[in-house]
Amino acid sequence: MRSIPNKSGARIMIAGLTYLIPSVILFLAIWIPVFWIERWRDLNERTKRSPLTTQLLRSPGESLRKELDDLNIDFALFLALTPGMVLTVYGAHISGSYLGGTPESVSRLVVSLILGLAAFGYGLYKIIGLARRRVKLRLGYMGELAVAQELNQLMRQGAAVYHDIPGDSFNIDHVLVGPKGVYAIETKARTKPKRDKGKEDAKVVFDGKTLNFPTWKETEPLEQAARQAKWLAKWLSSAIGEPCSVKGAIALPGWYVERTGRADVAVFNPKSTQFLIDGWLNEPMSESKIQRIVHQLDQRCRDVEPALYRKNK
């Protein structure tokens, strides 16, 4: 007796495959352009090579810039994927109804609605989180850039300035080497309150122990600056083979700083940087010592790969 093909099973399989059509379309829409870009880049690199043959010095906010680049990619990805995921759920529902022959029902509609809302909610949650992080990183990056531009002016007076110096699982925003001292400078970009109180909304009072902003107080930046100065002093002393003192400092771009007490850490507005040249040492460092310090900092900060073309393997 001849067996009868199982037509119902084939229908179920076909109906199931129709649900994948929107996902396949979304996948191809995303990855075909990516594949094309990578293919074009590979072909381009076979005929050209970068004119830059040495590593570059780290720029102001280098660590924040890299983090921002990665975050911007994630942000753009979720902006594109969030509506795409919702449309995929909708497309799967429609494909099942019109191509797979699955009858409409309340349960199917409820499941599709729940899946669509879940996809939208997750995407929106990620977008909001990334947007908040992006604003914070951009503020920090612009603050470091503003401070760096002011510090770089001191090169005219003989100072050496380096930015985003990598430490042990942390980085120092700026290091200034002057004739009468080395400074490890941490930038803190803080937004100002809007209370219609004029200068009071732009003034921070430093009593030697606490940074007293108009509506809040901070002590952690002082501790951070002191730790970084201590680490840099230890590393430089070991690197150049003789003791090297380092003073910690905090730059507050855009803030008027009123000092009512003394501390080992200097707090300043980057528009007022002459004290960094004047230093705190009684006697200027020897030219030989300055050159050795500068050499070590240059070697530590020269680690940025030119990204125009990949290196040949």
- State how far the Cα of 22 lies from the Cα of 75, in Å rounded to an integer: 23
For residue range 148-169, what is the model confidence (pLDDT) as tens digits? 999 999 999 999 999 999 999 9
For residue 172, list its beta bridge partners: 165
Please check whether residue 41 is in contact with residue 110, taking contact to mean a CB–CB distance below 8 angstroms. Answer: no
- State how far the Cα of 231 lies from the Cα of 182, in Å rounded to an integer: 13
Domain ranges of the chain: 8-145, 157-304
User: At residue 313, does pLDDT exceed 50?
Assistant: no
User: At residue 237, does pLDDT exceed 90?
Assistant: yes
- State how far the Cα of 166 lies from the Cα of 228, in Å rounded to an integer: 11
Please check whether residue 251 is in contact with residue 244, taking contact to mean a CB–CB distance below 8 angstroms. Answer: no
SS3 for 307? coil
- The DSSP secondary-structure symbol of 59 reads P
CATH-assigned architecture of domain 157-304: 3-Layer(aba) Sandwich (3.40)
Give the pLDDT score at 263. Answer: 92
Give the pLDDT score at 92. Answer: 76
What number is the average pLDDT over the span 134-146? 96
User: At residue 234, does pLDDT exceed 60?
Assistant: yes
- State how far the Cα of 188 lies from the Cα of 225, in Å rounded to an integer: 11
Torsion of CA 64, 67, 73, 78, to 10 degrees: -110
User: At residue 178, does pLDDT exceed 50?
Assistant: yes
